[in-house]
Amino acid sequence: MNRAERRRQNKKAETALPRPRTPKPAISDVLFTTGVGLYRSGHLQQAEAVFRRILATNPAHADALHLLGLIARQSGDSGRAIELMTRAIEACPGCADIHNNLGLALHDLGRWQDAADSCRRALRIRPGFPEAHCNLGNALLEGGRPSEAAHCYRQAIAIRPDFAGAWFNLGNALRAMNERNCSMEAFRRAIALKPDYAKAHCNLADQLKEDGRLGEAFTHFRRAREIEPNSAAFHTNVIFLQDFDEEADLIAQQRERTAWNEAFARPLTPTPASHSNDRNPERRLRIGYVSGDFRSHSACQGFAPLILEHDPARFEVFCYAENAVEDATTARLQNAATGWRRTRTLSDDSLARLIHDDGIDILVDLSGHTEGNRLLAFARRPAPVQMTGIGHLAPGLSAIDYRLTTSIFTAPEEAAHFPESPIYLDTFFGFLPPADAPEVVPTCGPKDSRVVFAVMNRLYKISDRALRLWARILQEIPAAHLLIKYRGLDDAETSARVHQSFADFGVTQDQLTLIGGTGQREHLDAYNRVDIALDPFPQGGGISTLESLWMGVPVIGLYDHRKIVHRSIRTVCAPLGLDDWIAESEDDYLRIAVRWATQRDELAVLKAGLRDRVRQVYSRFPAEVERAYRIAWRRWCQG
């Protein structure tokens, strides 16, 4: 499902059908009624033919123009829809329905301000028009004005309290405002009004996941998939959540990816794929990167060096950006790239054609099954060589040739589970050092001061097993303290739930410090209050682990071979020579924590040198990946 379609998944846009408004002969009246019937029953081509017959004799027939515009929009031609609806408004400027639906077409093209203006015109004509209030809210939300959007949705609800779509959109606006509990309540209201509301189940599930309530999240993700089994996006959500399911091993995960590939990707793949790229094995290559995270984001910290530090003599870099938000990091990447394409409004077909027309030699997926992915564009094979593996796990697409990996992340004997062939690297990703990071404080206090442990990961990565083990560490080490930092802890209910979870394992509130969201420098400076970081499990950190090490805080993590995301600690730390911090069991994890808590001098020496270790090892990543590109390209040139 392309980004434009996913955006429609995330908002309930309201189309209002017109009543006949233009005086017309009886035959035209009969034709129009017939066309509307065909339109309502989904026979769009036949309906279009009827409306064109009407226009042949009455070119200014507002309702026929309007319906043709709706058909064009549903067919994916928003530009044609805007042209037709503009003509309809010229014929009938006082029709609120047409202004509203013109706003939807403008929205499809990312023209948020124009869309908002069109919806406002509809509301001036008909103030009590709930669909127009809702669609105005959607345009404002896309334009980065969630508070104003929420006001619009509430106005729609005041007019029509049982308006499930408005409740759903209100949930999206409140989510953007970080009003988590109110957002979830709005999604629940939408579901109560419309139990088969798949998008509401999906967005509620995503909120529950962020809150660490994985069981409830699974229930709603699976319900969305049951309601709309043909939705690639809903199936993707289930795949992503498997990372946190302790019962789903590597084989189970790959089975789910294979099912997604067979259902949604393989039917789109041309056989054989045909490309006319110059087969010179040593020429300058065009690399295309596809992501929704060209911004300040943990995934971007891992792949940004590939763009910022690419070798311009040997490679041109094109970025296909799905970003909803652009920031200073976006600007840096855009300045470093040869070409920059904003793709949010493009269908998968259009994106594939753009990539093909740009002459991309190697197309690289940076998302896997995460938000903003364009895997269905990859399925169309727009480039002769396609790669994945950076940013998230390989998505399991038969249309992707290679996955970049390490021998720790995926062992050679596991290759049969993946359709993408492996190219092995020393590190799984790079590391863009945080801008303006504070200097490292090698020691947090005198030897007899309390040792401070920290967890700075998303709550949904924290399992009950991890909580239980961290409680054992606090009980084993006198005066030990645990700091947990995550933006969701700004919410009082979430914070209380975390305190209660630790209390259930015998940890008192004075042994915990909970910190919510802060700016980046304040976030990084919090590491200077910490001696040792604790990696959650079963899924550990990636970039968050490197960030901790960059700030001089070593990380204890549990290695588990059962699936890839359980291997993160070894993948990150082994290249740095930090094998002593990699636990093979929960008892081993406890032993490492106790040992280093009592070795304060040795710990201070280690902390002082961690930043240089990270810099030396992870700075090699761009050149290593570019060598992989050349290997893959030579293979393609050889046929």
3-state secondary structure string across 198-258: HHHHHHHHHHHHHCCCHHHHHHHHHHHHHHCCCCHHHHHHHHHHHHHCCCCCHHHHHHHHH
Tell me the pLDDT tens digit for each residue of 336-389: 999 999 998 889 999 999 999 999 999 999 999 998 899 999 999 999 999 999
* Close Cβ partners of 25 (under 8 Å, ≥ 6 residues apart): none
Among residues 465, 427, 450, the alpha carbon closest in space to that of 549 is found at 427
Q: Which two tokens stand for residue 178?
A: 């970080």
- For tokens 């995926």, what's the residue? 410
Q: Are 368 and 392 in contact (CB under 8 A)?
A: yes
- For tokens 């069991």, what's the residue? 585
Q: How much is the pLDDT for 24?
A: 45
* Close Cβ partners of 94 (under 8 Å, ≥ 6 residues apart): 125
| DSSP symbol at 444 | S
Tell me the pLDDT tens digit for each residue of 487-510: 888 888 888 989 999 999 999 889
- Count of beta carbons in the 10 Å neighbourhood of residue 76: 16
| DSSP symbol at 468 | H
Q: Are 457 and 541 in contact (CB under 8 A)?
A: yes
Q: Which two tokens stand for residue 573?
A: 């730390």
Q: How much is the pLDDT for 427?
A: 87
638 CB-side CA count, 13 A: 6
Q: Measure the CA–CA gap between 474 and 452, rounded to whole angstroms.
A: 10
Q: Measure the CA–CA gap between 581 and 569, rounded to whole angstroms.
A: 9
Q: Measure the CA–CA gap between 483 and 254, rounded to whole angstroms.
A: 36
Q: Cα–Cα distances in Å, from 438 out to 417, 498, 595?
A: 43, 29, 28
Q: Which two tokens stand for residue 328?
A: 């200073």
Tell me the pLDDT tens digit for each residue of 380-415: 999 999 999 987 889 999 999 999 999 988 888 998
Q: Measure the CA–CA gap between 538 and 541, rounded to whole angstroms.
A: 10
Averaged pLDDT, groups of 10, the chain, 639 residues long: 47 61 60 89 90 90 92 89 94 94 90 93 96 95 93 97 97 92 96 97 92 88 93 91 85 94 96 91 98 93 96 98 90 97 92 97 96 95 96 91 92 92 91 90 68 92 92 92 91 88 91 91 93 92 94 95 87 94 96 94 93 95 97 95
Q: Measure the CA–CA gap between 212 and 462, rounded to whole angstroms.
A: 7
Q: What are the beta bridge partners of residue 481?
A: 452
pTM (predicted TM-score): 0.84
Q: Measure the CA–CA gap between 146 and 112, rounded to whole angstroms.
A: 13
Among residues 456, 361, 396, 458, the alpha carbon closest in space to that of 253 is found at 396
Check the CA dihedral 131-135-140-144 and report its sign.
positive
Q: How much is the pLDDT for 445?
A: 58
Q: How much is the pLDDT for 307?
A: 98
Q: How much is the pLDDT for 1?
A: 46
Q: Are 334 and 363 in contact (CB under 8 A)?
A: no
